[in-house]
Structure 1
Amino acid sequence: MSTLVPTFQIGPIPVYGDLLLAPMDGITDLPFRLLTRRLGSAVSYTEFITAGDVIHGTPYLPRRLAYREEERPFGFQLCDDQPDRILQAALKLCELKPDFIDINLGCSARHVSGRGAGAGLLKTPEKIAEIFSSLTQNLPVPVTAKIRLGWDDSSRNYLQIAQIIVENGGALIAVHGRTRAQQYTGRADWQAIAEVVRAVPVPVIANGDVTCTADIERIKTLTGCAAVMVGRAAVGNPWIFSRLDRSQVPLAAVQETMHMHLREMLAYYGSPDGLVRFRKFTRAYLAPYPLPREHLTPLLTCPDPNTFLHLLDDIFTLLPSLPPADPSPSTLNFTE
């Protein structure tokens, strides 16, 4: 039996570590989750899954639901606006033996929040209470939430939402320190996260504007959070979960990781789909380097995996040996 002391718990489930990969649509598939877990991320969340897709099935659903035992603690993130549909979907997902179910109350994408799901649910606190009451009374696993601070600056109801979640059995709250209206602009309000930490008895995970290892310690000190969730910054720097900034990662390690990540993508999605999906990661991995367009464009348009790897290796022979500057995660386009 391990003698390690858990960093925090999700209900009865121990978590060993204080850094987590944020769930991100189009990003946190099985290959990327495995990569970050091996580098130190302590918990795995899926990309958000809509309740209707779970209930009725879609061609892509099996890939969204796939996970491995080494990812535990592991949770499915559900997104929907109807409490009864969320419960029906969550019960089906529990048949796959996750460690927890997470409810998405933070997605700011218009096609999600505009129909009342994701961050749209922050406008209907009574519905959130119904969702958590129903889930915690009927599921065999803990239920958690990822929230934003509110719909906009005139309705920053994060303390009310956090209390509702806890009063209805929620086991953990991850807080992105922005409103839905902010999307990913402006600065994340870490002080608001600290208010949530002081207000509720369950673990609170801090999320927003963590771009380097120094930010990890700053947000922990300011908020008193149980752990830190990293989103956009992890796409180009999965080594952040090993507490390394990109400037500390050798070129050879970047090259080796890109090879490994692509192999995992091809094994998971097949060719050419795996290569096409890998292009967004390619941009992020190479963002710190001063690559001329004539080198980058052929790589990002290459349809053949073997040719892609040859072009990639050619690029690494051309790159300067100086350590790269950290890229800005704000240039990456996807939703958390």
Structure 2
Amino acid sequence: MQIGPYKLKNNLVVAPMAGVTDRPFRVLCKKMGAGLAVSEMVTSNSLLYGSAKTLRRANHEGEVDPISVQIAGADPKMMAEAAKHNVDNGAQIIDINMGCPAKKICNVMAGSALLKDEPLVAQILKAVVNAVEVPVTLKIRTGWDKHNRNAVAVARMAEDIGVQALAIHGRTRACLYTGDAEYDTIAAVKQAIRIPLIANGDITTPEKAKFVLDYTKADAVMIGRAAQGRPWIFRETEHFLNTGEHLPAPEVEEIHQVMLEHIHDLYHFYGELTGMRVARKHISWYTKGLVGSANFRHHMNQLQSIEEQLQSINDFFGELKQRNARLQYEAESVATDDEAMAA
């Protein structure tokens, strides 16, 4: 898929997620096979440019091109300034957020609340597209609610103004993240525009990615929550789309190593104390479903230093590896006994 001058290595995109798609997560997902990763939402309020949070969100050091930064706001002039500011700080693609359903965003008429006001949508898009030389992309939902699905109209408007790619989450703002995503509106938008379309919403497996691509005829899929604690979903999905076959699930040793690399990057990026706290949710996601992980996660949230955190992780995975070795030994013993009996 091509966005402006950037040809992506595949059609798999990491969805922007507040509090999740920081630089360490984006770098990891790209390493694991994602063709593009969109940053966390960056405010368009220039008064906050110097805040620690905004500075971290604008940090792209070591990130593989292209670097896509999402901006949010409801004032066309401020959004244009935010776009220029982020391009000056390394952004190669500017993504406009008109898809976030969170109350604190919608209450200031930003995010998906903008879909209620198409003239304002047009003003914001024009201001940002005219402000920067880099490609501008747009993320929307299917509409405000089930009775007001205006994604087709907004998509046509965006294309006419010069937006170079569009991502659609298959829910309305009113749906939040409940119920099932619907893909008929995404398919209708694909028929209405010529720019690349990225389908988003409930894409949790390689099979679902293929279904959504086939059903909507979208150019790419955007994966969000399913990548939390499971960044290898991108290599699994790419392999499945290319071959129709599944890669083996990651072994315990690989999960351990990927997680350690990720949390060490978090310590470095945020500093030890904040990094340790941010790491907790990622550790919880990585270990979900593993034997004994409920008790481990509860214990993990009580720890107050990175030394304790790392020791606890290594102890947990050491136990898992021993258990797996015992199970393999027992299976081999049973097989040997069966062979002896057969002989």
- Is the structural similarity TM-score above 0.5? yes
Determine if contact 2:165/2:197 at 8 Å carries over to the other structure.
Answer: yes
For the residue of structure 2 that corresponds to 1:236, the secondary structure is coil
**What is aligned with 1:125?**
118
1:176 aligns with 2:169: yes
Deviation (angstroms), 1:53: 4.3
Question: Matches of 2:66 and 2:47 in 1, distance apart?
Answer: 21
Question: Matches of 2:92 and 2:252 in 1, distance apart?
Answer: 37
* AA of the residue aligned to 1:258: M
The share of aligned pairs that are identical, in percent, is: 33
1:61 aligns with 2:62: no
**What is aligned with 1:268?**
269
Determine if contact 1:53/1:61 at 8 Å carries over to the other structure.
Answer: no
TM-score normalised to the size of structure 1?
0.89
Question: Matches of 2:88 and 2:296 in 1, distance apart?
Answer: 48
Deviation (angstroms), 1:291: 2.2
1:209 aligns with 2:202: yes
- Greater RCO, CA 8 A, separation 6+: 1
Instruction: Count residues in correspondence.
Output: 315
Question: Matches of 2:309 and 2:247 in 1, distance apart?
Answer: 23
Question: Matches of 1:242 and 1:277 in 2, distance apart?
Answer: 25
Deviation (angstroms), 1:68: 3.2
Determine if contact 1:235/1:284 at 8 Å carries over to the other structure.
Answer: yes
**What is aligned with 2:10?**
17
* AA of the residue aligned to 2:144: W
Determine if contact 1:113/1:119 at 8 Å carries over to the other structure.
Answer: yes
1:218 aligns with 2:211: yes
Question: Matches of 2:184 and 2:98 in 1, distance apart?
Answer: 20
- The partner residue of 1:95 within 88, 94, 98 is 88
* Farther-moved stretch of structure 1 (47-56 vs 172-181): 47-56
Determine if contact 1:54/1:89 at 8 Å carries over to the other structure.
Answer: no
Question: Matches of 1:283 and 1:121 in 2, distance apart?
Answer: 34
- CA 1:73–1:261 in structure 2 vs 1: closer, same or farther (change >3 Å)? same
Question: Matches of 1:295 and 1:56 in 2, distance apart?
Answer: 38
> Based on CA coordinates, which of the two structures has the bigger radius of gyration?
2
- CA 1:31–1:236 in structure 2 vs 1: closer, same or farther (change >3 Å)? same
Deviation (angstroms), 1:258: 1.1
Deviation (angstroms), 1:288: 1.5
Matches within 5 A, 1:287-302: 287-291=288-292, 293-302=294-303
Give the alignment's Cα RMSD to 1 decimal: 1.8
For the residue of structure 1 that corresponds to 2:304, the secondary structure is coil
* AA of the residue aligned to 2:215: L
- CA 1:183–1:17 in structure 2 vs 1: closer, same or farther (change >3 Å)? same
* AA of the residue aligned to 2:228: V
Question: Matches of 1:139 and 1:69 in 2, distance apart?
Answer: 23
Deviation (angstroms), 1:49: 0.7
1:81 aligns with 2:74: yes
**What is aligned with 1:278?**
279
Question: Matches of 2:230 and 2:90 in 1, distance apart?
Answer: 30
Unaligned runs of 5+ in 2: 238-245, 328-343
For the residue of structure 1 that corresponds to 2:120, the secondary structure is helix
**What is aligned with 1:254?**
255
* AA of the residue aligned to 1:90: A
For the residue of structure 2 that corresponds to 1:209, the secondary structure is coil
Determine if contact 1:119/1:151 at 8 Å carries over to the other structure.
Answer: yes
- CA 1:56–1:32 in structure 2 vs 1: closer, same or farther (change >3 Å)? closer
Matches within 5 A, 1:104-143: 104-143=97-136
Determine if contact 1:105/1:117 at 8 Å carries over to the other structure.
Answer: yes
Following TM superposition, the consecutive aligned residue runs of length 4 or more in structure 1 with deviations greater than 4 angstroms are 53-56, 244-247
Unaligned runs of 5+ in 1: 1-7, 323-336
